Amino acid sequence: MNESDEELRDIKREIIESRGLVIKTNNLTNALSADIKSIAKRQQSYERKLSWNSATAYVVFVLVVFAALKLAWDARVDQIKAETEQKSIDNERLKKELNEARKKDEERSHAEARAAQFYELIRQGKKVEIVEQFENVKKGSLSKTEEGVFADAAERAKNDLAVLSYQQALDKTRVQRWQEAATLYEDSLKYKEDSAIAPSVKLGMAEAYRHLSRQKDAVPVLVALSENSVDREVQDDALYMLALCQMDIQAWNDAKNTWRTLIRRFPDSRFTPEARLQLQGLQLLH
């Protein structure tokens, strides 16, 4: 009996200890489960953070890459634009240079053609055409030799035409065709105003003006001849005709002064005796 009780007590004790062990095991299991859940939650949270960080890093990386690509693209575009603009400028410059070269070639071709035509005029001895076209030819691109030859030819033509017009004017003067004579004298001066015969041409022109009742046009020409001409024969002729013109327009005091100048400067002139008579008459009447 005692042994049975002892066994029962042992069994109860073992049951109690087993129950306590089960409880402890359960508690440990629960605690472990809680720890595992906590660890699982932390792992999930860490994984989520890691995922977000990875995503953020990826996004940042993508943005940086796109920004770098954008900068590189903009730089390339700017470079291409600059190259395009420079090439456009170079193209315009080359076009301009080409047009200028073509224009110079055309001008040179035209100048050569005009020079050839002008030389033909010289060869044919067409003096009027030589004088008329010389200024136009001179504007072209001529060499120094061409310019010199053409200038000499034009100068000779001017001298020849001036002499020819003067000779024709003398012929008209002899038959007293004063209007035609005046025109020819003017033409002679147009061709060569500073020729050796210019003083004689101006004197003849002034005489023609006087016969055409254009004394006011003749007076300044005669005054200039009487003061500046190196030809003494022309000077006394100019003074004589100047005094007559002044008398024609009733400039009596001027006429008297001119007669006095003629008598004083040219006492041996063929006009001096008449000058004295004219001066005496003016002094008596005016």
Please give the domain boundaries of the chain with CATH numbers for all domains.
Answer: 126-198 (no CATH), 213-286 (1.25.40)
Q: What is the pTM of this model?
A: 0.58
Provide the pLDDT for residue 34.
Answer: 79
- Per-residue pLDDT of 1-52, as tens digits, reads 566 777 777 777 777 877 777 788 878 788 777 778 888 787 777 777 777 8
What single-letter DSSP state applies at residue 209?
A: H
Provide the pLDDT for residue 205.
Answer: 92
- Per-residue pLDDT of 158-192, as tens digits, reads 788 888 888 998 999 999 999 999 999 898 888 88
In whole angstroms, give the CA distance from residue 239 to residue 258.
6
Q: Is 143 exposed, middle or buried (0-12, 13-18, 19+ CB in 10 A)?
A: exposed
* Average pLDDT taken over every residue of the chain: 82
Provide the pLDDT for residue 126.
Answer: 67
Higher local confidence (pLDDT), 148 or 270: 270
- Per-residue pLDDT of 142-153, as tens digits, reads 667 766 776 777
Task: Report the interhelical angle of 252-265 vs 232-248 (nearest 10°).
Answer: 160
Provide the pLDDT for residue 141.
Answer: 64
Of the candidate ranges 73-77, 114-118, 193-197, 237-241, the one whose mean pLDDT is the lowest: 114-118
